[in-house]
Homo-oligomer: A and B are copies of this chain.
Amino acid sequence: MRHQAPFTNLAEFAALLAGFGGIDEAAVKAASARNNELTKPPGALGRLEEIAIWYAGWRKDAAPQIMQPEVIIFAGNHGVAAQGVSAFPAEVTEQMVLNFQAGGAAINQLSACFGAKLSVKALDLDAPTEDFTKAPAMSEAEVVLALAVGWNAVNTASDLLVVGEMGIGNTTSAAAIVNALYGGDTADWVGRGTGIDDAGLQNKLRVVREGLALHADILDDPLQVLTCLGGREIAAMAGAIARARAENIPVILDGFICCAAAAVLAKSTDGALDHCVAGHVSAEAAHAKVLENMDKKPLLSLGLRLGEGSGAALAIGVVKGALACHSGMSTFAEAGVSDG
């Protein structure tokens, strides 16, 4: 049974973020001690060791298993899509939701491949957000509702979470968000998304610049940035990542749009993404820049730029592998192996 989200406005959501606890240091210590006893040279599993200890700390268990990974895709439509910022028409958002429901998309295959339960939440697809070059994308009531959809979508029995998205136009929204949060030249944050041409890229740059100019007064408030420049699916991802923190569920971050949602949380509260690992670095060039700003090193770098949670879902394999080793291997003493 789902609970009502424990916030009814942005101030309450911000207070919730600020009040979250950190990793369980006792579990980190116990997991580190176990790691040192396993039948391998010290450090020989590289980042798998670090990931296993991090995961153990958040799960408050020195030797946890990953039994119930979950992937949730949020879909939303963007008023800004009317400005011609995408290579695909806006109706593709809904068509792809149907494709997710029918099992035909990349994320369906990857979720099945790594044993993750997949669900899809479409947020008011028939009511796109406002075009952010003309008005705030959402009202406070709308963004709070979208955050709550994300918050409520997380299965509290999950032990690993991936959030993905579908929303024609949403790399434009994500570029505007991260440009607002991290500053710098707009051209460094705007990329080709699903594959626009040079003229499309110039148009997308113009749109982001106009959006930032129109909303110049609120750019120092991360949750207002989300409200004015974001989208429902982006807010929902932020809500789900926050819920995962409340439930001690580690999160694998996906690509550029997921990380724009996550960046809103990180800019709101220091350490808000300590329960998150970066699943991959996308071919959308600004994603690497977002990860640097978050101080997150990606697990994979395979040139994906699909969204849907696909890169993070692929990284479920790495995290599962790390925990399988950590929690399943014998110690030197158990195996009767000389430890050097």
A residues whose Cβ falls under 8 Å from a Cβ of B: 38-48, 87-89, 91-92, 95-96, 98-99, 102, 104-106, 108-110, 112-114, 194-195, 283, 299-306, 310, 313-314, 317-318, 320-321, 324-325, 328-330, 334-338, 340
20 residue pairs from A and B, CB less than 8 Å apart: A39-B96, A39-B105, A39-B106, A41-B306, A44-B304, A44-B305, A45-B106, A46-B302, A46-B304, A48-B302, A88-B340, A89-B338, A99-B330, A99-B335, A109-B321, A113-B320, A113-B321, A301-B301, A302-B318, A314-B317
Instruction: Given A41-B87, A114-B317, A337-B99, verify A329-B47 contact (CB < 8 Å).
Output: no
Q: Nearest-CB distance from A257 to chain B (Å)?
A: 13
Q: How often does this chain occur in the complex, in copies?
A: 2
Contacts of A112 in B (CB 8 A): 324, 328
Which residues of chain B have C-beta atoms less than 8 A from A91's C-beta?
338
Identity of the chain B residue whose Cβ is nearest the Cβ of A327 in the assembled complex: B109
Selected from B42, B87, B99, B337, the residue in CB contact (under 8 A) with A195 is B42
Min CB–CB distance A75 → chain B (angstroms): 13
A302 x B47 contact (CB < 8 A): yes
Q: What separation, in Å, do the CA atoms of A321 and B102 have in the docked complex?
A: 19
Bound form: Cα–Cα A313–B48 in Å: 13
Instruction: Select from chain B the residue with minimum beta-carbon distance to A328.
Output: B109
A41 touches B194 (CB 8 A): yes
Distance between A331 CB and nearest chain B CB, rounded to angstroms:
8
Minimum-distance CB pairs A-B, first 8: A46-B303, A104-B330, A317-B317, A109-B324, A41-B194, A44-B306, A109-B328, A95-B337
Which residue of B has the minimal Cβ distance to A193? B41
Q: How far is the CB of A171 from chain B (nearest CB, A)?
A: 11
